[in-house]
Amino acid sequence: MKMNNASLIVVGLGIKLISHLTNEAKVYIEQSDKVLYLVNEPVMKEWISKVNPRAESLDDLYTKHSLRIDCYRAITEYILAVLRQNLHVCVVLYGHPTVFAQPALDAVIEARKQGYYAKALPAISAEDCLFADLLIDPGSSGCHSFEATDFLVHKRRFDPGGHLILWQISCIGILGHAVGSNQNGLNVLLDYLKKYYTLDHEVILYEASQYPHLDPRITKVHLELLAQAQVSQITTLYVPPREKALFDRSMFEALHTNITDIQ
C-alpha cells in the first residue's frame, strides 16, 4: 500500500556546477517538504538552501564514523527516519544519484519495501563526462567499468581489447576516509595491470570539469608511471583498448546466413 502523504525522490546535480541540473530535479528540490543534501560544492549548498529553506545537509553523517560503510548506513537510516515523518522528501546528491551513491540507493530500495513511493531520477555522471571529453563510444569495442578496489580484490574479469574505466583510484584498499596520497594502492594496481598491458601502454588520468569555464583534467602517461602520477579524490583511470578483438568469421557467417534466411 502506497503512503499518499509521503514520498522519497533522489536526484543528482550532475558534475558541472548548475549546468547539469535538470528541470525535473529542480522542481523536486524547490517543492519538497524536506530536502536532504550531500554535495561537495559550497555554491551548490548555498543554492539548495536558498531555493528550499527546509533543506538540511548530511555532511555530519558522512564523516560521523571512521569506516565509510558505517557512515553510509547512518545516512540511509536517517533518510528513512525523515520519510517516516510523513513528508515528501528529496535527497540531493552530487553527480548521478545511483552511481557511487549507495546510501540513497539503499534508502529508495528500502522505502519501496515499506510501501512508500520512492524513485531516483537520472542525471549526468562522471562517466558521461568521460565519454564526451575523451571522445569514447563505449559501444565501439565494449566497456568495463569498475570501482578500483573491487576490481582488484575480486579479480574482476575483463577484456583488455575493450575500454577499461577504474574509479576511486586515490583510495584503493582504504575502508575509512581517504587522506593524502595512496602510493601503495597505485603500486598494487600497476602490478595487476602489467599482466594485461605493456608498460608503455598509454593510459589517461581523468577528472571531469566541475565548472563551466574550466577544462577537464586529461593527463596521458605510460602505464609504468602510474604509481608516480598525481591523483585526487575525483581522479578516474581510463585504459584504452590494448588491441582489436579477434574477429570470429564462423560466427559472422552464421549471423549472415540467418539474416539471408529472414529476407
Asked if 34 and 10 count as a contact pair (C-beta separation under 8 A), the reply is no
Catalytic residue among 62, 68, 112, 117: 68
Nearest C-alpha neighbor of 207 from the set 217, 215, 197: 217
103 phi/psi in degrees, rounded to 5: -60, -45
Reply yes or no on whether 72 is catalytic: yes
Residue 51 · residue 90 · CB < 8 Å: no
- Among the listed residues 37, 72, 116, 238, the single catalytic one is 72
Cβ(136)–Cβ(177) below 8 Å: no
Query: What does residue 155 show for φ and ψ, rounded to 5 degrees?
Result: 45, 55
Q: Cα(92)–Cα(125) distance, rounded to whole angstroms?
A: 14
Q: Write down the catalytic residue from 28, 37, 94, 238.
A: 94
> Tell me, what amino acid is at 193?
L
For the chain, the distance separating the N- and C-terminal CA atoms, rounded to the nearest angstrom, is 50
Cell numbers 559501444 label which residue? Answer: 139
Contacts of 192 (CB under 8 A, 6+ apart): 152
Which residue numbers are catalytic?
68, 72, 94
